[in-house]
């Protein structure tokens, strides 16, 4: 009984966070003005994780107290509406669509066909192979 109650409370809190608190944070957030740190921050998001990515970026900038050059890479599933929200909430972010990443990776990994093959098969490889490129 207690396990079901905990699960229900968790689901309700998750719903509240995603549908009430998160939009409020997106609406209220303003990126710091000024020069960016010379080190870039890269993040991979999907259609399922794009909003958590925004929250992570907001939290990172808030707690470091700095403005970072943010690069949001997407796995090919992010919709135009989701991209628009990302760019509105995080002005100045560099959004890297999967199609652009594919072209760059093909050149960057041309001498490493196994890496390129694995990158095409598994999205996790995007994190390891795209960011340096």
List, in order, residues 6 or more apart from 73 with CB less than 8 Å away.
42, 43, 44, 45, 96, 98, 101, 126, 130, 131
Q: How large is the average pLDDT for residues 76-102? A: 93
Q: What is the pLDDT of residues 56-79, one digit of tens each?
A: 999 999 999 999 999 999 999 999
Residue 94 reports pLDDT greater than 90 = yes
pLDDT classification of 133: cutoffs 50, 70, 90: low
Strand intervals (E) in the chain: 41-45, 70-74, 94-96
Contact 89, 51 (CB under 8 A): no
Contact 105, 129 (CB under 8 A): yes
CA proximity to 101, closest of 70, 80, 132, 79: 132
Indicate the range of 4-13, 33-42, 66-75 predicted with least confidence. Answer: 33-42
- Give the pLDDT of residue 132: 73
């Amino acid at each position: 009984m207690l396990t079901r109650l905990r699960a229900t409370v968790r689901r309700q809190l998750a719903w509240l966070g995603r549908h009430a608190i998160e939009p409020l944070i997106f609406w209220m957030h303003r990126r710091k003005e000024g020069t960016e740190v010379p080190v870039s921050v890269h993040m991979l998001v999907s259609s399922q994780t794009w909003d958590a990515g925004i929250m992570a970026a907001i939290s990172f900038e808030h707690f470091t107290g700095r403005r970072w050059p943010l690069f949001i890479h997407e796995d090919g599933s992010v919709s135009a509406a989701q991209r628009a929200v990302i760019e509105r909430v995080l002005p100045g972010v560099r959004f890297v669509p999967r199609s652009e990443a594919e072209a760059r990776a093909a050149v960057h990994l041309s001498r490493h066909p196994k890496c390129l093959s694995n990158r095409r098969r598994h999205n996790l490889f995007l994190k390891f192979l795209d960011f340096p490129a």
